[in-house]
């Protein structure tokens, strides 16, 4: 949790039983962002528990491209459904018209991991002593950075760095980035809202993990302290999940 905002619009879910971790960040400056983020988490969780296809249970990455395609299509459909629900609130009641949320999720099954995201909440993977972002921000600043219009240093301090180019809810359709990748025992996935990654460098996140000695809770607490010590200008939500062998 951050230090400056009275309302926390972040919502999260983490379940080893489900193999699912989700972080949603209600869009800053929008009305009812907390409604959108809560709806995003609860709907995806419900879909997984009630509507996960039996044909995909126990399937592995080693089963080939059709399995990868099936997972991408499944999570894409679910996220589109979530978007339709959040967007639909605005059609019913004008006060909800511009609410929205980011979404970042990790789903683990057998030898594969599904990563999906919309917006600027991030997913990192820690493997082999290194940390690597596995999502790319859907943000105005990132568009500028990729086009070579600004430097990384300018991006970090830009007044526009919180403007997202994709989000759940504001528009009637949304396109999530979804990838299916190999899982390795001992991989650690870090999901966070921009309250962490705007305040703490990737290398410092890795240093906190190394200092924790592999204690997930201790590392989460350390990362939140680091974000708050750096100013705590936004709410901070962090999930760490480790893939067991």
Q: How far apart are CA 48 and CA 46, in angstroms?
A: 5
Query: Would you list the domain boundaries of the chain?
Result: 10-135+166-242
Please report the pLDDT score of residue 104 as a whole number: 98
pLDDT in tens, 32-88: 888 899 999 999 999 999 999 999 999 999 999 999 999 999 999 999 999 999 999
pLDDT in tens, 155-196: 777 777 778 999 999 999 999 999 999 999 999 999 999 999
Whether the per-residue pLDDT at 20 is higher than 90: the answer is: yes
DSSP secondary structure of 152-204: HHHHHH-TTTT-BS--BSSSS----EEEEEE--TT-EEEEE-HHHHTTS-HHH
Whether the per-residue pLDDT at 6 is higher than 90: the answer is: no
pLDDT in tens, 79-99: 999 999 999 987 787 777 778
Please report the pLDDT score of residue 4 as a whole number: 43
| pTM: predicted TM-score of the whole model, two decimal places | 0.92
| CATH H superfamily, domain 10-135+166-242 | PPM-type phosphatase domain (3.60.40.10)
Q: How far apart are CA 245 and CA 187, in angstroms?
A: 10
Per-residue pLDDT band at 30 (split at 50, 70, 90) = low
What is the average pLDDT value for the chain, to the nearest integer?
A: 90
């Amino acid at each position: 949790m951050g230090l400056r905002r009275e309302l926390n619009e972040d919502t999260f879910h983490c379940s080893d039983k489900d193999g699912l971790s989700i972080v949603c960040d209600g869009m800053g400056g929008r009305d009812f962002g907390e409604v959108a983020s809560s709806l995003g988490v609860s709907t995806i969780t419900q879909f997984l528990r009630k509507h996960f296809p039996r044909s995909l249970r126990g399937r592995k990455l080693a089963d080939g491209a059709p399995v990868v395609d099936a997972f991408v299509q499944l999570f894409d459909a679910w996220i589109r459904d979530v978007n339709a629900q959040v967007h639909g609130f605005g059609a019913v009641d004008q006060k909800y018209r511009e609410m929205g949320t980011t979404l970042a999720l990790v789903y683990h099954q057998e030898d594969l991991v599904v990563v999906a995201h919309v917006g600027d909440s991030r997913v990192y993977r820690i493997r082999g002593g290194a940390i690597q972002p596995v999502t790319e921000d859907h943000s105005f600043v990132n568009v500028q950075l990729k086009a070579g219009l600004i430097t990384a240093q300018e991006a970090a301090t830009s007044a526009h760095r919180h403007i997202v180019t994709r989000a759940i809810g504001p528009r009637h359709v949304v396109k999530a980035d979804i990838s299916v990748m190999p899982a390795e025992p001992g991989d650690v996935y870090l999901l966070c809202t921009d309250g962490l990654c705007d305040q703490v460098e990737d290398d410092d996140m890795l240093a906190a993990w190394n200092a924790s000695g592999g204690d997930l809770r201790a590392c989460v607490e350390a990362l939140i302290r680091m974000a708050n010590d750096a100013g705590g200008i936004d709410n901070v939500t962090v999930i760490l999940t480790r893939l067991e062998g």
